[in-house]
Amino acid sequence: MHDGLYSNRNSRSDFVRNAITHYATGVENVYAAVAFFTEANLVQELLRSKRIRLIVRLGFPTSPTALAELMELRNIEIRYFTDRSFHAKIYIFGDNVALVGSANLTRAAVWTNQEVVVTVPAGDPRFLELASLFAEYWEDAKVLTKEELDKYSANYVKFAQLQKGIEEFDKNIIEKIGNVVAKNVNRGKIKESKENIFLESYRKSYQESISAFNVVRSVYESIGKRKVPEDKIPLRLEIDSFISFVRQEHAPVDAWEKAPLISGEPQREKIRALVEEWLLTPWTHFEETIVSENYPCIKKAFTSSESIMAQNDDDLFDALTVAHSFGDRFRFYKGSTPTQKIEFFKNNDGKRIRETLAYLLFGPDESVKRLANVIFNPKYKLNEFGQANAQEILGWVGSNDLPVINGRTTKVLRYFGFNVRQL
């Protein structure tokens, strides 16, 4: 494709329409939030094997005819705003990539207008922010019914030919249908989302990593040896340190990307040889630091919901930094770990931090739903605490034996030959 930038240039054929159809390939769910919508044909093309959630603004030039065509189809949900302040242009493809920029879903915008649209890959922290933003829009928007569409269509016919009457048209729509406004702008209250619309896509990619890890676990168990007994540390955490060993000794920098995709016995043999090498290699960070210090620290702090709520800020932060993906974030702060700590508590309410962690580790929902909520749902989402952090903390402490899945894990799984999505 075009290095992640699309502007409808004939010289480069970097048409927004091509980007949308390209990134929709291979995903089951597509999410789009646009101010203006006229291009039913593009959505119909995507609908061949997708589930689409579309948010539009009911206002000129959004076409009632195009909306009516889509409402006849299965696998699409349409919600709307009427307020002129809704002017977003976001396209999200499963949990793989997002497009964001100036292009609405109109023929001119996806083919001929001078637009600027950029990709935001899943590994970019802004991807999760965009997903969370879409979820907020989805929660605020109203479901488009035939009755509402008929009202909109009647007003569209009345006002569409009157360019000078567009503002009056918009006011009339609000009078007839109601003023539906996104609440995320300049609002301090955090809303509870009734559904996590990204759960399906997240569950699929997370399960791929879990399945790959379980192959590694199976090979490890077949060897019948451990560095440390189970009563000292769970096998899943010993395997996590094995993965760190492979990353450092065999898959540094981008070597993991160059490894071939393999499966079956060749893959198991590759893993087995590395496990046997690991078992014979002294690794003091595991035997001394992780087993004797890190695991007892995080286990003590996160024993129960009550213990989490009772932790002071110092002990809570120390426990969080046991997770490599969280502790390693000190690199992004001038002043290292002390500054990271200050910023984390500055940018998050202390009680909410504890409530989110208690929910993540001990909440009533099943584990993948809890993870998805902590990653995407504004009720639970924390600043400076992303997908890899949530998955790793659950792997360290979770009662259902889920492994640590962070960026290091997915890179090494790819080095082993698994085709898993990277964090």
294 and 246 fall within a common domain: yes
Assigned domain for 325 exists: yes
Assigned domain for 17 exists: yes
208 and 144 fall within a common domain: no
Q: Name the domain boundary from 114, 146, 177.
A: 177
172 and 223 fall within a common domain: no
Residue 118: band (very low, low, confident or very high) from pLDDT cuts 50, 70, 90: very high
Residue 139 has pLDDT above 70, yes or no: yes
Q: What is the structure's pLDDT at 186?
A: 45
374 and 251 fall within a common domain: yes
In total, how many domains does the chain have? 2
Residue 43: band (very low, low, confident or very high) from pLDDT cuts 50, 70, 90: confident
Quote the pTM value.
0.73
pLDDT (average), residues 277-299: 95
Assigned domain for 89 exists: yes
Residue 187: band (very low, low, confident or very high) from pLDDT cuts 50, 70, 90: very low
151 and 115 fall within a common domain: yes
Assigned domain for 363 exists: yes
For 241-267, the pLDDT digits (tens) are: 999 999 999 999 999 999 999 999 999
151 and 98 fall within a common domain: yes
For 85-117, the pLDDT digits (tens) are: 999 999 999 888 999 999 888 887 788 878 889
171 and 203 fall within a common domain: no
Residue 153: band (very low, low, confident or very high) from pLDDT cuts 50, 70, 90: very high
Q: What is the structure's pLDDT at 80?
A: 95
Q: What is the structure's pLDDT at 189?
A: 52
How many Cα neighbours within 13 Å face the side chain of 226?
A: 15
Residue 284 has pLDDT above 60, yes or no: yes
167 and 219 fall within a common domain: no
26 and 169 fall within a common domain: yes
116 and 205 fall within a common domain: no
172 and 216 fall within a common domain: no
Backbone angles phi, psi at 31, to 5 degrees: -125, 130
Residue 228 has pLDDT above 60, yes or no: yes
The residue range of the domain holding 356 is 199-415
161 and 254 fall within a common domain: no
